[in-house]
Each structure stands twice: as structure tokens, then as C-alpha cells.
Amino acid sequence: MGWDEAKESVGQVWKGLPDLRVELAHILADGDVALAHGTVRGTATGRLYGAPATKRSFQASFFDYVRLQDGQIIERVQQADVLTQMRQLYGKALDKWTLRVPLGDENGGAYVARRRRLSLAS
């Protein structure tokens, strides 16, 4: 993903979650690799990846792995608790909305639109 695409992606998140806060509980680094674990919090007051605003808040955990080369990030893997986030923001199911699902860096940062019922019942 290039710089312009990264800025656009972050801009979309800020539009949907303008009060987004990230708390980093642990950061470990060794050579060209860094790991981080934390919690993200926010309130969906705008559209988020195609889903409507709910004005509900959420809190979810995440892990990040980053590898650097010559001062540049050349690899990044993030594992986030998206299921918890979706349950808190949208309740039992997302129906009739199109979500933009990231395909990852190996696909040029592309997204795929998926329109289907997503069951999030406990």
C-alpha cells in the first residue's frame, strides 16, 4: 500500500470513529522487528467501511507485528478482535449493508465489497 492509499484508509477510519483512541499496553522490539499489543476504543458516529453509524462505543484488543528495512516498514501484520468490535457496534447481525473487507498488502491494499447477512449472535 502506498502513502496516498494509507492516508485514505486512515481518513476513512477517522470519519467513522472520530474519537478513536489506541492504548499500547506492551511494545517489544528486537533488531528490525517490533511487536505491540493494545486496546482500541471508539464510537461509530460516521460510516465505517460501508456500515452505517450506530453511535455505539466499542473496545477491542489487537496485536501488531512490524518489520523494518532501511527505516521503512516492509511488512506489517495486525490481528484485531473484529468480532468483539462488530458485536459492540452493530449488535446481533449486520444485514443489508455492504462492508469493505481489506484483502491485505499482498493484493495491493485492495478491498472486496461483501453484501450478505453476517450473524454475530453470541
pLDDT of residue 7 exceeding 50: yes
Number of Cβ atoms within 10 Å of the Cβ of 90: 20
Mean pLDDT score of the chain, rounded to an integer?
79
Q: Are 31 and 42 in contact (CB under 8 A)?
A: no
Q: What is the pLDDT of residue 85?
A: 85
pLDDT at residue 121, rounded to an integer? 44
How do the domains of the chain map onto residue ranges? 3-119
Instruction: Give percent above pLDDT 70 in the chain.
Output: 74
Which CATH number is 3-119's, of 3.30.70.1530, 3.10.450.50, 3.40.50.720, 3.40.50.300?
Answer: 3.10.450.50
Distance CA 66, CA 100 (A): 24
The model's pTM: 0.63
How many angstroms separate the Cα of 81 from the Cα of each of 64, 73, 90, 100? 12, 23, 14, 17
Q: pLDDT tens-digit profile of 77-113?
A: 999 888 888 888 888 545 544 455 555 555 444 444 4
**Above 90 in pLDDT, residue 116?**
no
- 8 Å CB contact between 46 and 17: yes
Q: Give me the mean pLDDT over the 53-70 stretch.
A: 93
